[in-house]
Structure 1
Amino acid sequence: MKTKIPAVERTRRLIRSATTAVAASLVATALSGCSALTQPINGVPADRLPPQFFAEPKNDLVPVDIALLSIEPPRNYQISGGDILGIYVEGVLPFNPPNQPPEPPPVNFPDAESTLPPSIGYPIAVQDDGTLSLPLVEPLDVEGLTLEQVRDAIRDKYIDEDILRPEKVRPIVTIIKERTYDVIVVREDGGGTGNGSLSTQNVAAQFFSGGSDRSASGGLVKLPAYQNDILHALVETGGLPGLNAKNEVKVLRANRADQRMRAQFMQQWYAQQQAAKLDPCSCPPPLPEDPSILRIPLRVKPGVVPNIPEDQIVLNDGDIVYIESRETEVYYTGGLLNGGEFPLPRDYDLDVLGAISIAGSSVGGTASQFGTSIGRGVQGVPPGMLYILRKDDCGGQVAIEVDLSAAINDPRQRPLVKAGDTLILQYKCEEEAINFGLSTFFTFGIAEIFRQAR
């Protein structure tokens, strides 16, 4: 026969059982160890880190006036080598016997893609040295002259040579075809216009979804005179760089002097790298700016106007316009976050809280989101410690410690994510102990309480 236990004694037993269950869970946690103890990361709190380890903000950057990337054409077209002129000189071009009526000049219609009006005259090409060869006279130097000035020069030449009488010299000069410049455009943002190419928007979407191989597209672009600038080269190949390209344009000149400068620059830099490797305590120098490569930023700080002289944006035959991909501008996740590689936004900042959200987790969520299930509908404590593993300029790394509870309440404790960062999310030791204790209590403690209560 069972003895009935008084109510006060039953309450005491329940309290002792609950206390014993919680204490046992805490002891088990301490014996098994938490990740903060078994896998420690020696981090530096974000508010104690020197400024040089933080990312440069870019939220306040403004687009560059794209008009700075184009040249201003002169009011009147100036002749140069490569132009094809339509010229008619009565009695000379074409030759006409004195006793016959003159032949009418031919009419030339431009190509479909040309913006020139129909022209009159026989096609005569301006030589590379800027001279124009006409019948019965020495070549004329027409470099930099307008059509009206060329017409006057032809008239004066035939009068001075006593070939035609002044009242009979009425030359006609028009433009049949403008000179063009062959420029190479290499784009790693999918902005090419060749067959099978994708639009900039589609390629950018593929980049952010991880479905693009970021392969480069390139081609030869023929730019008419006074349109041979960076802006027209970009417009002809798909527009300004897309979201998966860097916010800058590189220009590599085709002349031999610049090519030799680039080769010499790389040789000197590699020699410095090899010399630095001989000293284990030295810091290898980073790759400096190549003075022979023109870099034009497309976004700058407010109030800053890039100093871009017009001669720098003019493109000549063989010059290369290079749009570089930003495929290396990614960050990585690990620890309690799902491992992955995620691209950084190009035109705005991303702090650690936003980076965690992009990785598929929510700050302040339940413990079950991070692989810890309490059971019976009870939500545990979410992880509260984030470490940013950031590389330095000398091949090492620094671990930045971010307390997520403090970061939620204080924007100053939310470091911006840089390219190459690795984000490791962990529980604090007390958080892991609480979750383990709650799991143990609701799994075994309640059953023990009811058993003691019977």
Structure 2
Amino acid sequence: MNTNLLHSKVWRRIRSAIGCSLALAVATSFTGCSTLTQPINGIPAHRLSPDFFPPPKNDLVPVDIALLSLEPPRDYQLGPDDILGVYIEGVLPFNPPNAPPSPPPVNFPDENSTLPPSIGYPIAVQDDGTLALPLIAPLKVVGLTLEQVREKIRQSYIENDILREEKARPIVTLIKERTFDVIVVREDSGGRSEGGEGLRGPDRTATGGLVKLPAYKNDVLHALVETGGLPGLNAKNEIMVLRASEADKRKRADFLRKYWAQQRIAMTDPCYCPPELPDDPSILRIPLRVRPGVIPNIDEADITLQDGDIVYIENRETEVYYTGGLLPGGEHILPRDYDLDVIAAMALAGRGIGESTSSGGVGVSAVGGVPPGMLYILRRTPCDGQIAIEVDLARAVNDPRSRPLVQPGDTLILQYKCEEEILNFGIGTFFTYGIQQLLRNNN
């Protein structure tokens, strides 16, 4: 009798275990456990090699903008295309003998000019750097100051016996400085802010145009000030300068020609891994933010702009990340000047830590359920590869090493763990059917 009782208890336990297993399997199938139906083979974030985590940018400091500006000389030095006001009594203008001298004309500067009013007849410095005046040979004036030019004119007329020493009192003023025509192209005026919307779209427009910069103001900073100031948040943290000289144009063309020729040869190998396009050595890139203690190597020749040079502010349209799974799907712009970890990225996408969804089971959204606890980061790697980084959100809240920074091109997929879906299904089933059954039994 005792033996039969023992066998009966054993069979009851076996049936109970089988029933629990079947119930668990049925619950898993009803909830559509994404861990089983849509598995993602990820590597836990805290076990990943540091090579997959670029250095943070929170500690970057702005570059001193004074490095982008030329320091003007104490006295203006002349060059081709400067327009001088010259008055030489008895010569310019010519006066007949015994006639009273004519007064010099007065010239007022343009509205936007910083020059004071000047006097004298306008004479331009020629392309060869000379100044052509009546009765004497052209004078070389490039690199001279106004006072030096005045003295040179005086000595020349005295040495040529045109004016006596006491009558040689020329007046030399600056009517208009020489200017440099620079092209500025800006892609940072699209009107989108660092919010949840992506950068791509009709708002990406380029502005700018031709800017005339006076001598000693023909630098990168003045070109930016004339077209709206420093690059905005929609632009990359750098300024590109493309030189207009034929040598630089040929250098850029040769660089691209050689690069693509190498690519065509290498692509015949089936195991070929295409590298990223390297930086064009003929294009000057000026950073706007650097690591603490780093002084950018920017010299005067780098920031000096000549006729036809192009200042280019590039849009950072590729600095976005994507969301999916239980996160609202979309494309989101990454901040330019500070880092964004996965928790902040989820909040920016509209889903915070601890927020449950209505997809966990019947009735879960009404009574609250277990929130999703697994986030996967799909990150691109060289050679068109991909790595899946697994982020346990419960661990990420307490351990910063398990909270990786989001990088451009990342895709964030939020999922329930299998046990979370089962719990949510059980909670929803109980509150939907269990309470009804209790009320029915009480009646």
Structure 1 length-normalised TM: 0.89
1:321 to 2:311 alignment = yes
SS at match of 1:353: helix
Corresponding residue for 2:378? 389
Is the contact made by 2:364 and 2:427 (CA closer than 8 Å) also made in structure 1?
Answer: no
4+ aligned runs moved over 6 Å, structure 1: 19-24
CA distance in 1, matches of 2:167, 2:196: 71
Is the contact made by 1:55 and 1:417 (CA closer than 8 Å) also made in structure 2?
Answer: no
> Residues 360, 65 of structure 1: CA spacing in aligned structure 2 closer, same or farther, 3 A cutoff?
same
| Aligned residue runs from structure 1 range 230-379, under 5 A | 230-368=220-358, 372=361, 374-375=363-364, 377-379=366-368
> Residues 428, 252 of structure 1: CA spacing in aligned structure 2 closer, same or farther, 3 A cutoff?
same
Is the contact made by 1:22 and 1:440 (CA closer than 8 Å) also made in structure 2?
Answer: no
1:212-238 deviation per Cα after TM superposition (whole angstroms, max 9, x unaligned): 621111211111111110001101100
In the alignment, which of 184, 193, 214 is matched to residue 205 of structure 1?
193
In the alignment, which of 27, 31, 52 is matched to residue 29 of structure 1?
27
CA distance in 2, matches of 1:376, 1:205: 33
Q: Which amino acid aligns with 1:89?
A: I
Percent sequence identity is 69
Is the contact made by 1:330 and 1:420 (CA closer than 8 Å) also made in structure 2?
Answer: yes
CA distance in 1, matches of 2:335, 2:100: 74
1:190-228 deviation per Cα after TM superposition (whole angstroms, max 9, x unaligned): 1xxxxxxx8xxxx24387645862111121111111111
Q: Which amino acid aligns with 1:316?
A: Q
1:49 to 2:38 alignment = no
1:180 to 2:182 alignment = no
- 1:25 Cα deviation (Å)? 4.9
Q: Which amino acid aligns with 1:422?
A: T
Q: Which amino acid aligns with 1:205?
A: S
Is the contact made by 2:196 and 2:349 (CA closer than 8 Å) also made in structure 1?
Answer: no
- 1:281 Cα deviation (Å)? 1.6
Q: Which amino acid aligns with 1:95?
A: F
Task: Give the unaligned 5+ runs of structure 2.
Answer: 1-16
Q: Which amino acid aligns with 1:167?
A: E
Corresponding residue for 1:100? 99
- 1:277 Cα deviation (Å)? 2.2
CA distance in 1, matches of 2:203, 2:94: 63
Task: Give the unaligned 5+ runs of structure 1.
Answer: 1-18, 191-197
In the alignment, which of 411, 415, 419 is matched to residue 408 of structure 2?
419
Is the contact made by 1:21 and 1:445 (CA closer than 8 Å) also made in structure 2?
Answer: no
In terms of mean alpha carbon deviation, does 66-75 or 47-56 score higher? 47-56
Corresponding residue for 1:441? 430
CA distance in 1, matches of 2:170, 2:150: 6
- 1:377 Cα deviation (Å)? 4.1
Is the contact made by 1:251 and 1:320 (CA closer than 8 Å) also made in structure 2?
Answer: yes
SS at match of 2:193: helix
Is the contact made by 1:21 and 1:440 (CA closer than 8 Å) also made in structure 2?
Answer: no
CA distance in 2, matches of 1:243, 1:77: 37
Q: How large is the Cα RMSD of the aligned pairs?
A: 2.2
- 1:45 Cα deviation (Å)? 1.1
CA distance in 2, matches of 1:140, 1:67: 36
- 1:150 Cα deviation (Å)? 0.3
1:400 to 2:389 alignment = yes
Is the contact made by 1:25 and 1:440 (CA closer than 8 Å) also made in structure 2?
Answer: no
Is the contact made by 1:181 and 1:222 (CA closer than 8 Å) also made in structure 2?
Answer: yes
> Residues 341, 147 of structure 1: CA spacing in aligned structure 2 closer, same or farther, 3 A cutoff?
same
CA distance in 1, matches of 2:173, 2:195: 49
CA distance in 2, matches of 1:279, 1:289: 24
- 1:417 Cα deviation (Å)? 0.4
SS at match of 1:220: strand
CA distance in 2, matches of 1:60, 1:433: 43
